[in-house]
Amino acid sequence: MTIVVKHTATSVVTIERFIIEEERNHPEATGELSGILYDLALAAKMIANKVRSAGLADILGATENENVHGEVQQRLDVLANEIIIKAMDHGGRLCAMASEEEPGIIQIPDEFKCGKYCLMFDPLDGSSNIDVNVPVGTIFSVVRKITRGRHGELEDMLQPGRRQVAAGYVIYGSSTMMVYTTGQGVHGFTLDPSIGEFLLSHPNLRIPENGRYLSVNDSYEQLWDDSVKSIMRKYKGLDGDRRALSTRYVGSLVADFHRNLLGGGIFAYPSNKKTPKGKLRLLYEANPLSFIVEQAGGAASNGHQRILDVEPSELHQRTPLYIGSRSEVEIAQRAIAGQPELAVV
């Protein structure tokens, strides 16, 4: 008989206890996925500690290096990347990792046991905001290994987002929160720094049906095609057939996504003449947040199809992204692809 514990926001439940209780809903569970989530919560606390004191510990600013995307790496990008790799590489649950900050897949060192999962992550999202004290985040995605052999391979990473077994993000904002799903709803935990524990604060998160916010970088307007321009006019109520959404754009995907998840709305990073394939990365930005938003009753599309159905071909491939309240995403899908509904399997 599975124990289904219903928590409310007033129950004092640590993330570790919540993970164990969720695991009990899966009698076949081996505890490996739970172990990955524990270790990610630990890495999140360590990164939060660095982000919070970055201005004092002389770890702000850029390095002299560029990552595989040609973006200058911030020192906190590199630090967060190292923290996650060191926290995750020896637990024996992963067979490989992939990071926004690493060109290829990250193998598990021979001295450590390999497990049956792959972890893909954006160690620090919104890097351009670090030095100006605007919220940044971490995003992660977990899939099962599908290839034979001990070590993970590229093919294990290149699975469509609907194959994820867990996804989540951490937002280093006015408080540090970790939000994740394993396919049993979306749950938010707030770090209590006085005891160093993530405590359940947002059980069973659902995105509001109707949007309040529009998050888009309008500076690209001249680079959008006409269908994108028509979508933005609609979101802004300029066609007179609906109320205008309030524009809120932080420039950190995690911060914009989190506000819209709680308040309702749409985040849009359309393709444009400068980035025809979009800017955001499919495997460790769009896929994990799309798994979360669908689990919370929302939707995510590249304008033509459901993000979670996109078949990846490259580790760092980019995608246009419309993500948030279902009705808002369907407006974009209709305008771009002429499809009224978002197919969800």
List residues near ligand AHG by CB under 6 A.
71, 100, 122, 125-127, 217, 251-253, 279
Q: What is the rounded CA–CA span in Å between residue 37 and residue 29? A: 14
Tell me how far, at minimum, the Cβ of 312 lies from Mn ion, in Å.
17
Tell me how far, at minimum, the Cβ of 67 lies from ligand AHG, in Å.
8
318 Cβ contact partners less than 8 Å away, ≥ 6 residues apart = 275, 277, 278, 279, 280, 281, 282
Q: Could you say which of 23, 125, 197, 294 contacts Mn ion (CB under 5 A)?
A: 125
Tell me how far, at minimum, the Cβ of 178 lies from ligand AHG, in Å.
17
Question: Closer CB to ligand AHG, residue 306 or residue 318?
Answer: 318
By C-alpha distance, which of 265, 260, 44, 33 is closest to 166?
33
Tell me how far, at minimum, the Cβ of 304 lies from Mn ion, in Å.
22
Tell me how far, at minimum, the Cβ of 104 lies from ligand AHG, in Å.
18
Tell me how far, at minimum, the Cβ of 253 lies from ligand AHG, in Å.
4
CB atoms within 10 A of CB 276: 11
Question: Closer CB to ligand AHG, residue 125 or residue 294?
Answer: 125
Question: Closer CB to Mn ion, residue 214 or residue 253?
Answer: 253
Q: Which among ligand AHG, Mn ion, none contacts residue 230 (Cβ within 5 to 8 A by kind)? A: none
Chain center to CA of 154? 20
- 256 in contact with Mn ion (CB under 5 A): no
By C-alpha distance, which of 97, 53, 96, 98 is closest to 76?
53
Q: Which among Mn ion, ligand AHG, none contacts residue 318 (Cβ within 5 to 8 A by kind)? A: none
Q: What is the rounded CA–CA span in Å between residue 100 and residue 124? A: 9
Q: Could you say which of 23, 39, 122, 197 contacts Mn ion (CB under 5 A)?
A: 122
Question: Closer CB to Mn ion, residue 87 or residue 200?
Answer: 87
User: Which 3 state secondary structure label does DSSP give 203?
Assistant: coil
Write the Ramachandran bin of 70: left for phi over 0, alpha for psi from -120 to 50, otherwise beta.
Answer: left
In terms of C-beta density within 10 A (0-12 exposed, 13-18 middle, 19 or more buried), how is residue 7 classed?
middle
In eight-state DSSP terms, residue 134 is: -
- 294 in contact with Mn ion (CB under 5 A): no
Both ends of the chain: CA-CA distance in Å? Answer: 28
- 22 in contact with Mn ion (CB under 5 A): no
CB atoms within 10 A of CB 84: 28
- Is residue 101 within 8 Å of residue 67, measured between CB atoms? yes
Question: Closer CB to ligand AHG, residue 126 or residue 298?
Answer: 126
Q: Which among Mn ion, ligand AHG, none contacts residue 251 (Cβ within 5 to 8 A by kind)? A: ligand AHG
- 328 in contact with Mn ion (CB under 5 A): no
Q: Which among ligand AHG, Mn ion, none contacts residue 89 (Cβ within 5 to 8 A by kind)? A: none
CB atoms within 10 A of CB 164: 23
Q: Which among Mn ion, ligand AHG, none contacts residue 252 (Cβ within 5 to 8 A by kind)? A: ligand AHG
Tell me how far, at minimum, the Cβ of 118 lies from Mn ion, in Å.
18
Binding track, positions 164-183, relative to Mn ion; x by CB under 5 A: --------------------
Q: In this structure, is the dihedral angle defined by the CA atoms of residues 316, 338, 291 and 190, taken in order, positive or negative?
A: positive
Interface of this chain with Mn ion, residues 87 to 106, rule: CB under 5 A:
100
Q: What is the rounded CA–CA span in Å between residue 131 and residue 177? A: 20
Q: Which amino acid is at 216?
A: V
Q: Where do contacts with Mn ion occur on this chain (CB under 5 A)?
A: 100, 122, 124-125
